[in-house]
Chain A
Amino acid sequence: MIRLDNVCKSYGTRFGSRQVLRHLSFSLERGRHMGILGRNGAGKSTLIRLLSGAERPTSGRIDRGMSVSWPLAFTGAFQTHLTGLDNLKFICRIYGKDWKPLVPFVEEFTELGIYLREPVQHYSVGMTMRLAFALSMAIEFDCFLIDEGLSVGDSRFGERCHVELFHKRKDRSFILVSHDPGIIRAYCERAAVLHLGKLYEFPSVDEAFHFYETQNVPPPGPRFD
C-alpha cells in the first residue's frame, strides 16, 4: 500500500514560490493499477518524482508500505561513459542483486548484441530505451511507476514491453501517468485526473476520461498560495 496524505510541492521561480501540486491525497493497494491523466504541465512528472522518492514533498506525507520502482525505462540515470553491462552491474549493486544471472535476459531482451559491452554514449535512442526497459525489469518491485514512455520504440518492442509488464507482472501495482487515455483505459481499473495541481479521483476510468476531456487548462500563470 502506498499512501499520500495532503502532499504539496512548490518550486521557486523568478516570481516567487509556485505551487505545482496542491494537497494530494490518495492511496493505492498492492496489486491495483491506477491511471493518472493530466495535460502537459499538470504536475504529472513532479508527482512521479515524489512517488519515486527523487524529491521530497514540500509538505504532507508519503508512506510506502511496498517497494516502489524508479520511473520505468528512465534513461536519465545512465552514466553514458559506462557500457550497458556496467550500468546493469551498477543497478544490481545498488539493489543488492547478483547481476550475472540477469545477463541472458538483458541480452535477449535488448537485442544489443556486442553493443551491450560498448559505452551507452554510442547507442541510438531506441537502443538506450531498450536497455532502460530491460534494467527496469531486472529489479523486482511491488509497485511500478510508469511515466508515458511506453510508446517509444518500434511496435515489436512495444509489444514485448507489454508482455513483460502487464502480463508477467500483472500482480504488481502500477501507477501509470499519461496524457494518453487509451493506455490508461487498457490497463487501469481506476483513474484520476491531475488538473492545475489538484487530483480529482473518479470511480471509473470513463468518468475520469470525461472530466479530462472537458477541462481547459490555462497557460502556466502564477499559482501562489
Chain B
Amino acid sequence: MADEGMEKTGTTFRQSLAIQRRVIWALLMREVITRFGRENLGVLWLILEPMMFTLGVTALWSAAGMTHGSSMPIVAFAITGYSSVLMWRNTVGRCNSGIHQNLNLLYHRNVKVIDVFVTRIVLEMAGATASFIVLAVFFTAIEWIQPPDDLLKVIGGWLMLAWFGAALAVLVGAATAYSEIVDRIWHPTAYLLFPLSGAAFMVDWLPKAGQEVVLLLPMVHGVELIRDGYFGTRVHTHYDMAYMGLVNLVLTLAGLCVLRDAGLRAEAH
C-alpha cells in the first residue's frame, strides 16, 4: 500500500538511520546548488572561498611579520592558523541562519532541524579541510613549506577542532531558535575570539599569565596540536587534549539538549 510517505509510528533505529542519511544527502545537494549554482565554477567555490581567505591572510601576515622574529616559517604558520579558525567560526555562522532559513522544510516530516545543521556543518568542514589540504600540498610542492613533522598529530588536532566547531555550531545555532539576539552576540564574539584563538600566535610567545588565560579557550589546544604536528621540535607547544575533549563533550551534550528543545519550539510559517 502507499507506504513511501513512510515514518509510520515505530520506526526502527536502522530505518531512522537510513532516512536520516537520505535526508542529509538531499539537503547537501540542495544546499550546494543553492549556494554555488551551476554556472562557472559551481561547487569548486566551496574550496576556493576559504582558500582565498587563507591566501589573503597568509599574504598579510607575511608582510606584517606576524611571527615576531621567531624562526617560524610564516606561510605554514598562517595556513595552519587561519584554516583552523574556519573550522569553528564558519560552521557556527552557517548554522545560525539554519533554522530560520529552512523552517518550511519541516513540513516534510523526515526533515529535522538536526539534519539542516549536519548538512551545513559537513559542507563548511569539507570546504575548509579541502582548502587546507590543497594549500598545504601546493606550498609543499613548490617548497615554500616543509611537509608536516608528524601527520597524525596534524590530523588529530584537526579532528578535535572539527568536533569543537560542530558542537559549538549546534549549540549556538539551536540557541538562535529562542532569540535573534544570540546571532547578534555571536558576530562580535567570533570577531573578538579570533585574535585569542591561537591562530595568530603561539602560546609559547606569551607571558606565563597570558598562557594560562588563552589556554582556557579550547580551540587554542587544537591549533597548538596541529602546529606541534607540523613543526615538531622546532617549536614549543602547549596543549592538553583531555581538557579540550572534556570541553567538547560538555558543548556537545549542551548543544544536543538545546537542539532537542529548539526542535520542539520551531514554528513553521
- Looking at chain A's contact residues, the main secondary structure is loop
- Looking at chain B's contact residues, the main secondary structure is loop
Mask, A37-61, CB within 8 Å of B = 1, is 0000000000001001111100000
Chain B minimum-CB-distance residue to A94: B26
Contact B25 A76 (CB under 8 A): no
Contact A55 B2 (CB under 8 A): no
Instruction: Check if B269 is an interface residue, CB within 8 A of chain A.
Output: yes
Instruction: Check if B3 is an interface residue, CB within 8 A of chain A.
Output: yes
Q: Flag the segment in A78-86, A151-159, A205-213, A216-224 that touches B.
A: A78-86
B contacts, CB < 8 Å to A? 1-9, 18-19, 22-23, 25-26, 29-30, 33-34, 37, 104-111, 264, 266-269
* A86: B residues at CB distance < 8 A: 30, 33
Instruction: Check if A17 is an interface residue, CB within 8 A of chain B.
Output: no
Chain A minimum-CB-distance residue to B30: A90
**Nearest Cβ distance between residue A102 and chain B, in whole angstroms?**
12
Instruction: Check if A185 is an interface residue, CB within 8 A of chain B.
Output: no
With most chain B CB atoms within 10 A of its CB, the pick from A53, A64, A65 is A53
* Assembled-state Cα–Cα distance A54/B102 (Å): 11
* A139: B residues at CB distance < 8 A: 4-5
Interface size of A in residues (CB-CB distance below 8 Å): 36
Q: What are 23 contact pairs spanning A and B, CB under 8 A?
A: A11-B267, A52-B109, A53-B106, A53-B107, A54-B268, A56-B264, A64-B7, A67-B3, A67-B7, A76-B107, A79-B30, A81-B34, A82-B33, A86-B33, A93-B25, A94-B108, A95-B5, A95-B110, A96-B6, A96-B19, A96-B22, A142-B3, A142-B5
Instruction: Check if A140 is an interface residue, CB within 8 A of chain B.
Output: yes
17 extra interchain contacts, Cβ-Cβ under 8 A, other than A52-B107, A66-B8, A94-B23? A49-B268, A52-B109, A54-B106, A54-B268, A64-B8, A67-B8, A68-B5, A76-B104, A76-B269, A79-B30, A81-B34, A82-B33, A86-B30, A90-B26, A90-B30, A96-B19, A140-B5
* Assembled-state Cα–Cα distance A45/B7 (Å): 22
* Assembled-state Cα–Cα distance A120/B106 (Å): 20
Instruction: Check if A109 is an interface residue, CB within 8 A of chain B.
Output: no
Chain B minimum-CB-distance residue to A58: B264
* Assembled-state Cα–Cα distance A55/B109 (Å): 10
* A68: B residues at CB distance < 8 A: 5, 109
* Assembled-state Cα–Cα distance A146/B88 (Å): 43
Contacts A52-B109, A82-B34, A90-B29 given; indicate if A97 touches B4 (C-beta within 8 A).
Answer: yes
* Assembled-state Cα–Cα distance A49/B25 (Å): 25
